[in-house]
Structure 1
Amino acid sequence: MNFLLAKLGIIAILPLLTSARSWYDLGIYGIYPTEDYVSFGMKSPLVSIAKWDDSCNCDYTLLTPRGSWVRDYGPMILGPRGGLVWMETKFGVAMDLKVQQYNGENFLTFWAGVNDGTHGRGVYYMASQKPPALPVKANKAQLNSSYDVVHVVSAGNGLEGDLHEFKITPEGTALITIYEIVSADLSAFGIKSGWIYDGLFQEIDIATGEVLFQWRASEHYKVEETFEPIGWTGRIKGMAFDFFHINSIAKDPMGNYYVSSRYMHSVTCISPDGDVNWVLGGRRNEFEDLSYGAATNISWNHHVDWHDNDTLTIFDNGATDEIQTARYSRALLISIDSVSKTAKVLQQFVTPGKYLSQSQGSVQILPDNGNIFVGWGHTAAYSEFTADGELLCDTHFGPSLFFGWGKVKSYRGFKAPWIGRPRTPPDVKMPDKQSIFVSWNGATEVASWVLQGASPEHPQFMNIGQIPKDTFEARFELGAEVDDYDFLRIAAVDLDDDVLGYTSVVDRRSRKMLSDSFVPLDLDADAESEESFVLQGSIFITSFFFGVWFIWRFRRTLVERASNYYRSYCVNKNTSIGFQPIPTVEIG
């Protein structure tokens, strides 16, 4: 009987063990599975799609993967099904990558700097999608400059910008979070003279850098209102107590600000004058909950945003690394009536796996279809739901078995359209004589790749083959069709077969790149240079052997002449300056 049950159990789990997705989520491919490339020097996450619906097949996913198992930190754009589109590592750890509008133009924005795992000190980058004003040239790629940083925004009043928020308003201002260590009375915790991380936010004019508004949590909240245990913090400046933990800011058309406080379990609405209008959740909750507690029992929350009809989106974590106050994390859509002081959950968004994310996270209402996109923060996943709460797509960029570890995470996750036109040319590499690989980091308009060849006898490049661009990197198999060509390059073309850019030229014999650009006339010059080198080498070798033969043939004559020279010149000259020659002795 036991044997039969064991056999049935094995049969039941066998389909799971033979599923690639199951192997992935068990960590068989590693804690951070990655895609390796031949032509590109960085690694991107290898994702696993737990659930997919074709309605998710639009726009790009914006992440900032990090964690102890992530090698290449930085902002990253992935395709709808998780394939790499663009990544950059020169900024180091980046946070909060999203597409925002400023003065009617789209920008990639993100924070980069130094972080201690909880707070950050850095600046905010804005990379333009608009091509610069350059002289018109034949190569389209030279006209475009996506990913060029055109604005760097810093905090004002001598402070440094925090990693949690950089939100551009329709008025051309930026809302940013700041953490400042200040002295404070912590008598409520038995510490009379202590130190806290004060939670601030500023509104800054992007064009001028002027601080238009600043708000400070310690002026409106008492430290004893926090839910965060003080532990050993607060006693010295180097270990300040984070009692408020500001992590998002939003603004409505009336000028009111909405602040998320993780450690107060609350959302605070602040007037344009800086006064507190109302508080949702936490110890100061002012709202009657029409959803039987589901709207006001938020805890350890992140990313509050305001939307039309006085609705809020909130990422409700329900846990920290040490404390769990909910069974799972939720993305919430809440209706607020600030007059009657009532709150109601319109919808909550939860995956069947009921992810519990101990930190970070984001909620986004997609403008085109009203779907809800959720980045699960500490949990290496992102999901898309219908407005009614139905899960459409769920993607993992780390195995679910290790979600609780936080070894792979992305502070937030967003989805947005983007047109990428990098200034740099496509990358190419020929690892062996049978294949050549090509990729173009950040290019979004490439429809196909065209392999081209040329030779000294036929310097005009000719098309050899064409393949569609289905993934980040493409591979051409090289056969007899390239035998007539000494030099290869690959052209990136769009849907209209217009050339967007060329790779460097590769010498098919040596498999080395010749130059960034190839001019056919250079082939003749190289040939002449090679002939000149051969001629010079022949002359050198002939002269060398002739010299050796000449010395050997006339060695006695040369020795006698050298001896006579020594006697007639060197000896006499040396004697005149005190040199005593060796005396001669006659024998016989």
Structure 2
Amino acid sequence: MQSRWWLALLMQTIGQVPLSAASPSSPSSSSSSSATGPFLGTPDDAFWYDLGWYGVRPLQHFASFGASPSRPYFLLHDERCSAKKSIDDTTEGEDLIFVAPRGLSVGTPAPTIYDTRGNLVWMDTQWGQAMGVTVQQYRGEDFLTFWHGTDNGTFGEGKYYMLNSSYDVVHTMQPAPLSPGEEPLLGDLHDFVITDEGTALMTIYQKRPYDLTAGYGIKSGWIFDSLFQEVDIATGKLIFSWRASDHFAIHDTLAPLKRGFGRRSDKAFDFFHINSLGKTSTGDYIVSSRYMCAVACISGSTGAVLWQLGGRHNSFADISSGEATNMHGQHHAVWHEDTQELTVFDNGAFDKLTMAAHSRALRVRLTGIGGDNEIDDEDVDESHDKTDGKNNESGEEEDDDDDQPTAELVQAYVSPESLRAPSQGSVQILDATDTVLVGWGHVPAYTEFSADEGKPLCNVHLCPLGFTWLGWCKNYRVFKHHWVGRPSTLPSAAMRPDKKAVYVSWNGATEVRHWQLEIATIMTGGDAQFTKHGNPVEKDGFEARLAVPSEAKRVRIAALDVNGLVLAYSAAVSTSEKTVVPVMYSPPLKETMRQVVFQYAAFISLGIAGAVVLVYLAVRHRVAILTRARKVTALVITAVIAVAARVLPSRAYKYEALPTTTMSGMTELRTGERQGSRQEV
């Protein structure tokens, strides 16, 4: 696989192979001529896609829409992945895919919705980087929620947004102050969960001084502490707050303390790394700690650790030969109360440390858990040094007590390519179709499996996987939800006189079933009189092309619902002029692909030049170079090593940070966009 990555980088270095030179086995597309649909091919064909044959990030382009989403590649597609809530199509909306690709090759990152066939439904680039795009319910209403802000590769600093079906921001959430008079904290990117009680759970990171003498010998040390809060959405009142360092010993982490870390505030030690949250019906909390390699249940009354799955202090007897508890660097732990199961995305790696051949999604059944399993953390350090039983070969603790709770692996889901995601990832059980959706995080792909057998049904690459090691395109989580979009904008029509056709789309609208062309052949008092022309055209994909008759002077498009009723009309456009749709606003990137490629080229050139100089001096002066110019030699060798370290995938796990746009700016941009969409071109 590594050789394929280097070949992919080489192809992109020398330039993208023109599409006209595509091999006979190159993938087909639902709309290949206009590049407005997904690639549909076979796993063998995906080789060329993943190598970057179609670009480091193939895009879809539209005439009527001013943004270009990723063009995914479907390696497998089963009809079960496209099942709707209602087979007679009477149910509003449908099950859709929610993603947010980002990274160096994603010039315009945005929260994005696709249908299950890979066609765009909605994207909004004005948000820039977003994480955890999903649908959650609050007071009986569906909301599109996500985190937006900046991140530094460890955690994020931003806020959480709740958008209604019209894609308007209704609620903006952030953590509450820890004490009266303090400034509110910023929300972390890892998780934002709305509970049935109308509250929100959110992850937080906080830098603070800490005594790291135990285990590290650093008296005046610094840590990044992991916190979570439960906050009432309506009032912003703090319901519950928890801090990892109060209940977990720092030296129980499985993350190594890198050289220089923990000693200064600018290199604080991230010992816990909280990355997912949940709440049980009993009021307790489910917390995933990446660097403890464990999922813990936290008491909702005392904050104590009730039980822990995995890590140094695993509470469970693993009756699956260690397969239920030997997770490493895991993400997205979700508790399923009805089945007493925990779903977890087991990365099998964190940072550049690899513990497993591939990542996997897990369903683990827990038995024997309850209030009597609470761990006494009155003295954290002392209790965490205790071991009740011997460790087995898998590393989990065994207990001779017959009443010890057990963990059993129900099913593991592994990608057809045996992908290993060094970070991020998600697991979602889809009861309606009896399937499991797995997002591969740092590897921009997702797979839907049959729940019981673990058989891959659908397998999709959001970006070419040949560049995964560089981290140029990644996707934090993937979700599938039922969603009804009713945007307050109008359908967008774009005339192309040379093609005698008009293109139409409606960003975010999910209720459109047909498009109806209406034409005006004469103008009366400056007003156009429109009449229907031809039969309605079925909506198939994001954008439709409608032929325009020669007698038409102006045209507009009606969006029709399942009953043939008009949802909205587009603005009227002249048939003699090309319609120019403005590009959707996007925040400027902190670092562009061109800048990085230029840096790579500069470093490589300097390295080659230094090597040439070294060889020249060695040839000319032979042995003398080693005695007369040792410092020069050392400097040149150091430069070559530095170049190699820069060019090799040292950037692979860094999240690309983007500036945060203020909410006032968001409102102005959104208002301007809507006004513009209602104007005739």
TM > 0.5 between the two?
yes
1:468 aligns to 2:488 (yes or no): no
Q: Is the 8 A contact 2:319 2:407 kept in 1?
A: yes
* Equivalent runs, 1:160-175 vs 2, <5 Å: 160-175=186-201
Residue 119 of structure 2 is aligned to residue 90 of structure 1: no
Tell me the CA shift for residue 369 of structure 1. Answer: 2.6
Q: Structure 2: how far apart are the matches of 1:511 and 1:77?
A: 28
2:678 & 2:222 partners in 1: Cα distance? 59
- The amino acid across from 1:303 in the alignment is H
CA distance, structure 2, for counterparts of residue 202 and residue 403 of structure 1: 33
1:149 maps to which of 163, 169, 178: 169
Corresponding letter in the other structure for 1:32: R
CA gap 1:153/1:402 in 2 versus in 1, 3 angstroms: same
Larger RCO, structures 1/2 (Cα 8 Å, 6+ apart):
2
Residue 203 of structure 1: CA displacement?
Answer: 0.7
What is the alpha-carbon distance in structure 2 between the residues aligned to residue 82 and residue 415 of structure 1?
Answer: 12
Q: Deviations over 1:227-261 (max 9, x none)?
A: 11221322221221111000001111011111100
The whole-number CA distance in structure 2 between the counterparts of 1:286 and 1:15 is 56
| Cα offset, 1:300, TM superposition | 0.4
Amino acid aligned to 1:62: F
User: SS of the residue aligned with 2:187?
Assistant: coil
Match of 1:292 in 2: 321
State how far apart, in whole Å, the 2-side matches of 1:333 and 1:512 are.
52
1:534 counterpart residue number: none
Deviation at 1:505, TM superposition (A): 1.2
Partner of 1:229: 256
User: Aligned pair 1:185/2:215, yes or no?
Assistant: no
SS at match of 2:47: helix
* Contact 2:80–2:433, Cα closer than 8 Å, also in 1: no
Q: CA 1:341–1:197 in structure 2 vs 1: closer, same or farther (change >3 Å)? A: same
CA contact (8 A) 1:257 1:270 kept: yes
TM alignment of 1:494-505, pairs within 5 A = 494-505=561-572
1:52 corresponds, among 77, 81, 87, to 77
Give the match for residue 661 of structure 2. Answer: none
CA 1:518 to 1:461, structure 2 compared with 1: closer, same or farther past 3 Å?
Answer: farther
Q: Within 2, Cα distance between the matches of 1:310 and 1:278?
A: 14
| TM-aligned CA deviation for residue 321 of structure 1 | 3.5
**Contact 1:172/1:205, CA 8 A, preserved across alignment:** yes
Pairing partner for 2:223 from 190, 196, 212: 196
Aligned partners of 1:510, 1:108: CA distance in 2, in Å?
37
Which TM-score applies when normalising by structure 2? 0.69
Q: Cα gap change, 1:174/1:433 in structure 2, threshold over 3 Å: closer, same or farther?
A: same
Q: Distance in 2 between matches of 1:447 and 1:401?
A: 37
**Unpaired segments ≥5 residues, structure 1:** 1-13, 130-145, 520-588
The residue matched to 2:483 in structure 1 has which SS?
coil
CA contact under 8 A between 1:246 and 1:262: conserved in structure 2?
A: yes
The answer to whether the 8 A contact 1:312-1:334 is kept is yes
How far is the alpha carbon of 1:73 from its aligned partner? Answer: 1.2
Query: Does 1:386 find its partner at 2:386?
Result: no
For 2:110, which of 55, 67, 74 is the aligned residue? 74
Question: 1:495 Cα deviation (Å)?
Answer: 2.0
Tell me the TM-score normalized by structure 1.
0.80
Shift of residue 433, structure 1, vs aligned partner: 3.5
Deviations 1:355-401 (CA, angstroms, capped at 9, x unpaired): 10010001111131331111111011111111111111111111233
Pairing 1:371–2:435 present: yes
8 Å contact from structure 1 (residues 357, 404) kept in 2: no
Deviations 1:430-449 (A, max 9, x none): 24342221111001111121
Report the counterpart of residue 609 of structure 2 in structure 1. Answer: none
Deviation at 1:516, TM superposition (A): 6.3
* In 2: Cα distance, 1:517 partner to 1:62 partner: 27
Distance (whole Å) between structure 2 residues aligned to residue 16 and residue 343 of structure 1:
46
CA distance in 2, matches of 1:180, 1:513: 47
Distance verdict in 2 for CA 1:189–1:516, change over 3 Å:
closer
Distance of 2:352 and 2:677 partners within structure 1: 54
Aligned to 1:538: none
Q: How far apart in 1 are the matches of 2:551 and 2:61?
A: 32
1:18-72 deviation line (CA, Å, top 9, x unaligned): 7643321222112211111111111111111111110101310000110110112
Q: Residues 268-417 of structure 1 correspond to what in structure 2 (within 5 A)? A: 268-273=296-301, 274-307=303-336, 308-339=338-369, 340-388=404-452, 389-417=454-482
Query: 2:490: which partner in 1?
Result: 425
Matching residue's letter, 1:184: Y
Which has the larger share of strand? 1
Note closer, same or farther for the CA distance 1:513–1:267 as it changes in structure 2 (3 Å cut): closer
Kindly indicate whether the alpha-carbon contact (under 8 Å) linking 1:433 and 1:508 is maintained by their aligned counterparts in 2: no
Larger radius of gyration: 1
Q: Percent identity of the aligned residues?
A: 47
Which of 442, 449, 453 does residue 519 from structure 2 map onto? 453
Give secondary structure in 2 for the equivalent of 1:31: coil
Q: Report how many residues are paired.
A: 487
The amino acid that maps onto 1:81 is R
